[in-house]
A = this chain, B = another copy of it.
Amino acid sequence: MKARIYVSLKPTVLDPQGQTIRSALTSLGFAGVAEVRQGKFFEIELDGLVRTEAERQLEQIAQDVLANPVIEEYRVEILD
């Protein structure tokens, strides 16, 4: 079973890296770019788990290991 976990900064948290990319894009001539925010994702391959158990484990992995719940939010997507 394949899944993806997307982790990004909460909307209320400043994203200096995204701001730097935005101003770089503006200076390169991409004037239409109003905002950039960066995040990361993890493609996870799971073996030998039924779907409900996989969902439970992915939720726990996202919450406890991959995201910092103080400043980040996450989204779990199961692909097949």
Contact = CB atoms under 8 A, between A and B. Distances in A.
Given A39-B41, A42-B37, A47 B25 contact: no
Interface string A53-72: 11001001100011000000
Copies of this polypeptide in the complex:
2
Interface residues of A, number: 33
Interface in A1-41: 6, 8, 18, 21, 24-25, 28, 30, 32-41
A45 interface: yes
Interface of A: 6, 8, 18, 21, 24-25, 28, 30, 32-49, 53-54, 57, 60-61, 65-66
21 contacts: A8-B41, A18-B43, A21-B42, A21-B66, A25-B65, A28-B65, A30-B61, A32-B47, A32-B48, A32-B53, A32-B54, A33-B47, A35-B44, A36-B42, A36-B43, A37-B42, A38-B40, A38-B42, A38-B43, A39-B40, A40-B41
